[in-house]
């Protein structure tokens, strides 16, 4: 029950922190997307229902914060969540290098999603932006992802004591 009470606020704070604090620290040139790590964490560690809800809410909040059409990030995050979930059924996903590398892969997939959806919905090609900004951001996110995993793991109500072992 705690999950449904705390998670929306926690995710709101997470998105605000990501946008305001990290954005300011990195002079708004690199967006350190810890929300993506949250989605990956959900896919690897949390129950399917909670993870899906988390991904959807996080995606919707990202839509609001970034100003894109509603459902844009929601679709990307839920799709990534599905992919992560499917992968988690077949691999041992607890080692630190795996987490970092897997985050990097998911980041690339998110990049492809962003590229495709931008082209379809807005008709803009953001390939050059992706290369310039997204790849450095990906490297940073993948490097810090193991630490974020440990942090999320410590938040008990996030999974109400249930931690899915891959």
Partner 1 sequence: MSIPKKYRPIAIIVLFIVFSIILLFLSTKMPSDTGYPRRFILDVVAPIERLIRIPLDETITVWNRYLFLVGLGEENRRLKRENDQLKNQLLLHQEGYLEGLRLQKLLTMKGQSDYASMTARVIGMDQKSLIKTILINKGTSHGIRNGLPVINEQGVLGRIIETSWHVSRVLLISDGNSNIDALVQGTRVQGMLQGSGAMRCMLKYIAKTEEVKTGDLVVSSGMTEIFPKGLLLGTVIRADKKDSGLFQRIEVVPAVDFTRLEEVLVLMVTEKKKK
**For partner 1, the closer CB: 82 or 135:** 82
- 6-65 residues near partner 1, rule: CB under 8 A: 12-13, 15-17, 19-21, 24-25, 48-49, 52-53, 55-56, 59-61, 63-65
Q: Is 109 in the site for partner 1 (CB under 8 A)?
A: no
Provide Rg for the chain, Cα atoms: 15
Stretch that binds partner 1, among 79-87, 93-101, 128-136, 145-153 (CB under 8 A): 79-87
Exposure class string for 72-100: b at 16+ Cβ within 10 A, else e: bbbbbbbbbbebbbebbeeeebeeeeebb
Single out the residue of 68, 72, 80 nearest to residue 43, CA to CA: 80
∠ CA(3), CA(8), CA(14), 5° rounding?
A: 110
Are the beta carbons of 42 and 51 closer than 8 angstroms? yes
Q: Which is nearer to partner 1, 71 or 136 (CB)?
A: 71
Residue 69 binds partner 1 (CB under 8 A): yes
Can you give the binding site for partner 1, defined by CB under 8 A? 12-13, 15-17, 19-21, 24-25, 48-49, 52-53, 55-56, 59-61, 63-65, 69-72, 74-75, 78-79, 81-82, 85-86, 121
């Amino acid at each position: 029950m705690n999950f449904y009470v705390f998670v929306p606020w926690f995710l709101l704070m997470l998105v605000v922190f990501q946008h305001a604090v990290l954005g300011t620290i990195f002079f708004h040139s690199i967006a350190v997307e810890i929300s993506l790590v949250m989605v990956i964490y959900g896919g690897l560690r949390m129950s399917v229902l909670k993870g899906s809800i988390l991904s959807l809410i996080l995606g919707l909040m990202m839509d609001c914060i970034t100003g894109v059409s509603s459902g844009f990030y929601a679709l990307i995050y839920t799709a990534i969540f599905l992919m992560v979930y499917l992968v988690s059924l077949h691999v041992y996903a607890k080692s630190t290098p795996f987490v970092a590398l897997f985050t990097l892969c998911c980041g690339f997939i998110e990049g492809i999603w962003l590229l495709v959806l931008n082209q379809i919905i807005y008709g803009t090609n953001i390939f050059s932006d992706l290369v310039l900004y997204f790849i450095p951001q990906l490297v940073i996110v993948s490097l810090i992802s193991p630490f974020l995993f440990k942090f999320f793991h410590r938040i008990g109500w996030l999974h109400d004591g249930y931690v899915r072992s891959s």
